[in-house]
Structure 1
Amino acid sequence: MTDRITLRGLRVRGNHGVYDFERAQGQDFLIDVDLELDLARAAASDDVADTVHYGELAERLVAITAGEPVNLIETLADRLVTACLDDARVSAATVTVHKPQAPIPHEFADVAVTLRRSRP
């Protein structure tokens, strides 16, 4: 599948982490999503009902990220990629969760986890 919908840099405040201060104070997470699906029908019809509405998808991802805390961004990424695959039109999804304020006592550019899941 070569058709894609991409959402980059969705910033959400969440309370995820293994440390108590991460859960108490919260921090920003950045989410990138790539959905693989056939967009021919949407292109022909010019109807949003024939595609994944990226605004609605963003709302679901925000609700998950701002919701119940988890220890690991691996777990968060799994919840997000599962939500992406809830739409049967999506054949595969890739989600990257960036944790730019990770508690690392050194200067760093990024910490991220990427998961890709596809339908069997």
Structure 2
Amino acid sequence: MKSKIILKNIKIYAYHGVLPEEPLIGNEYLINAELHADLQKASQTDDLQDTINYAEISEVIHQEMLVRSQLLEHVIGRIISRIEIQFPAISFVKIKLTKTKPPMPGEMDGVSLEFEKKIHH
């Protein structure tokens, strides 16, 4: 059975960026995560021990967003690494990170980076 956990549009205010004002002003970010794992046992047992606790995934995302980076690629890389280490049942992870007000001319909803990784334990 293929199972997915999807965390959608987590809003976090953080201080990433290359420009000198970005660590001072900050920006609102949206994070989306898709995680694959076999959750069939939980569908039968109704036991939290048999699934992936998505509140713990959210906590990892929040913790890594607090660590300032120049590049969003670095933030995503750290999130994926932590998930891979802390949640061995996960076989695939996709993280999309959107800076909602990038320091660029023109009106837009934001700039996003998306990484995905198949995990082999």
Q: What RMSD over aligned residues (CA atoms) do the two structures have, in Å?
A: 1.2
| 3-state SS in 1 of match to 2:21 | helix
CA shift for structure 1 position 90: 0.1
Matched with 1:70 is 69
CA shift for structure 1 position 20: 1.4
Q: What number of residue pairs does the alignment pair up?
A: 119
CA shift for structure 1 position 110: 2.6
The percentage of counterpart residues that share the same residue type is: 25
Matched with 1:40 is 40
Task: Calculate the TM-score normalised by the size of structure 2.
Answer: 0.92
CA shift for structure 1 position 49: 1.3
The runs of at least 4 aligned residues of structure 1 exceeding 6 Å deviation read none
2: CA distance, partners of 1:119 / 1:27: 31
One-letter code of the match for 1:44? Q
CA shift for structure 1 position 79: 1.1
- Unmatched tracts of structure 1, length 5 or more: none
CA shift for structure 1 position 83: 2.0
- Unmatched tracts of structure 2, length 5 or more: none
| 3-state SS in 2 of match to 1:43 | helix
